[in-house]
Structure 1
C-alpha cells in the first residue's frame, strides 16, 4: 500500500489512534452483520436476483436518513457533499455484480463455500491495488493474508471432499470475490472525497437500479408472497446492507483497503456458525481450526502504532 493511502500511525507501544481503532471496530461489526446474509438468501421466498434488489432497495430510506444526518452535522464541508463521484458510481456497479454472482453462488453451493470464496476478496484487493494503483503492502499483511486464506480453505475442506457437485456454485463464488475486491478499492477511493453515509446511499442507488433491471428481466416474480418473506428481506436490507455496507464504508475511510478486506474473513467464520444454527450445516473440528487461523492472520496483519519522535 502506498504511503499516501496508509493512515498515519503513532510510534510508541501505545494504543491505536482513535480513528483507526474505530475503523477496526466498524470493520469487525460489518463482517458480522454481513455474515447472516447467505442464510437469509436461502430463506427468502423470491429468487436470487429479486432478493438482491430488495436487499439494497429496502435499505435506501434508512441510508437516506443517515446521509441527511451526516450532511446536517457538517453543512459547510464540501468533501462530504461530493455527489455521485466516479468511484461511488463504480462502487455501485461492482456491488451490483457482487450481489448478482453472490446470490447465485449461495443457491448453488454450501453457505460455507460461498462465503469463503466471496471473502477471498483480499487476494484481489492486493492484486488489483498493485496492478492498477501501484499500491504495495508490507510483509505482515501478506503473512496475515496467507493465514486467512489457509483458514478459509479449512472452513470448506469438508465440503470440497464430499460435495464435488458444488463446482458451479464455487466458481460463482470466485467471481463474487473478484467483484467484492473491486468494491473495496472503489469505496476506499470514494471515501477520500465523500462521507461514509453519502457513499453508501449513492452507491446503493446505482446498485438498486442495475439489480431491479436484472430482476425484472430474469425473475418470474419480484414480490415476496408471504409476510415472512418480507420479514426476511427486511432483515437482509437493514442488517446486512444498511448495517454491513454502512459500517464497511466507515471503516474504509480510516483503514487501508488491504487490511480491511482481511477482517472480512470473519464473515466466513460467522456465516458457518449461522448456517449451523439456522440451516443445520455441520461444523467439524477442521473448520474450527480454520477459524483460529483466520483470527491469527488478522492479528498478524493488524496496523501497528509507531513511536512518536521525541522533540
Structure 2
C-alpha cells in the first residue's frame, strides 16, 4: 500500500522540482536577451532553432516504446506539430515587441498575468477544480509581482499600446501552457518540445527578416549568448516545465512559474548591477508565499 500510495506523491515531488528548476532556467532569459547582439525577433528565432539539435538528441535517445503497428506513421499529429509552436512564437514576438513600446516594468508585470489565463483555461478546457484557496493564492502572488515591479509600473500615457502587447503576450503564453498540458496526456515532453521549437523558429525567421533586424552576431560572445539562451532557458527550462505539466495541475504550474521574475530580479542585481530595493525583496517573498499557499490548495 505504501509503495502504490507514495508513487503519485513521489511523481509530484519530482515534477515540482523540475518546475522550479525550469522556472529558474528561464529566469536567465532576460539577461541573455539584454546581452544579445541581434534584433529581438531574431533573438527569439535563435532561442528556438538553436535548441532543436539538443532537443532532437534527447528525443532520439529516449527509452524505446512498444513497436507501432505496421503501416502506422511515427509522425506526430498536426496539433503537436503546430499549435504549441505557433503559440510560443506569438509569445516571443509580442513580448519582444512590447518592450519597445512600454517600460520594462510594465511589460514584465503584464506578461506575467499568464497564470490568470491558464487558471481560466484549466477550468474550462482541462476540467481542473479551482478552489477558493487557490484563487486567494493567485491574487497574493500577483500582488507580490506588482510589489516586485514597484513604482516603475505606470498606466496610461504613451504606454497603452505596449501594455496591450504585454497582455497579449500573457494570453499567448497562457494558451501555450494549456496546449502543452493538454497534449501531455498522450505525448512525451521531448516530442512536444522538439516540434514546437522547430515550428516557432520557422515562424519567427520571416518575421525577423520583415522587420529588418540585425540577424548575425558580430562576436563570438554574441553567439555564446544565443546558445546560452537556446540551451539553458529554452531547451532545459521549457522542457522541464513541459515535463511537469504532465504530472501537476496546469493552474498550479503556471503560478509556480512566477518564480521566474523573482529570480530574474535577483540575477539582474547580481550580474547586471540593477537596483533591488526593499519593496522588490518584499514582493519576491510575497510571490513565494502565494506559491506555498497554492501548493497546499492544489496538491494532495
Counterparts in 2 of 1:226 and 1:128: CA distance versus 1, 3 Å: same
Partner of 2:13: 21
Between stretches 122-131 and 228-237, larger displacement belongs to: 122-131
Deviation of 1:17 after TM superposition, in Å, equals 1.0
Partner of 1:75: 65
Partner of 1:44: 36
* TM-score, normalised via structure 2 length: 0.88
Partner of 1:304: 299
Counterparts in 2 of 1:17 and 1:114: CA distance versus 1, 3 Å: same
Matched, 1:159 2:149: no
Partner of 1:308: none
Partner of 2:253: 260
Q: Distance in 1 between matches of 2:50 and 2:242?
A: 18
Does structure 2 conserve the Cα–Cα contact (< 8 Å) formed by 1:34 and 1:240? yes
Deviation of 1:50 after TM superposition, in Å, equals 0.4
Q: Which runs of 5+ in 1 are unaligned?
A: 1-8, 306-311
1:201-234 deviations in whole A, cap 9, x for unaligned? 0111111110112112213432112111111111
Hey, which bits of structure 1, 4+ residues long, moved more than 6 A? none
Does structure 1 conserve the Cα–Cα contact (< 8 Å) formed by 2:106 and 2:154? no
Q: Which runs of 5+ in 2 are unaligned?
A: 69-73
Counterparts in 2 of 1:272 and 1:291: CA distance versus 1, 3 Å: same
Q: 1:268-283 counterparts in 2 under 5 A?
A: 268-283=261-276
1:250-304 deviations in whole A, cap 9, x for unaligned? 1001111000000011001011112223333321111111111111111111143
Q: Distance in 1 between matches of 2:189 and 2:213?
A: 35
Q: Distance in 2 between matches of 1:200 and 1:43?
A: 25
Matched, 1:63 2:55: yes
Q: Distance in 2 between matches of 1:40 and 1:109?
A: 20
Q: 1:26-175 counterparts in 2 under 5 A?
A: 26-70=18-62, 73-76=63-66, 83-109=76-102, 111-133=104-126, 135-160=128-153, 168-175=161-168
Does structure 2 conserve the Cα–Cα contact (< 8 Å) formed by 1:116 and 1:152? yes
Q: Distance in 1 between matches of 2:268 and 2:164?
A: 20
Q: Distance in 2 between matches of 1:186 and 1:139?
A: 24
Counterparts in 2 of 1:117 and 1:200: CA distance versus 1, 3 Å: same
Counterparts in 2 of 1:83 and 1:42: CA distance versus 1, 3 Å: same
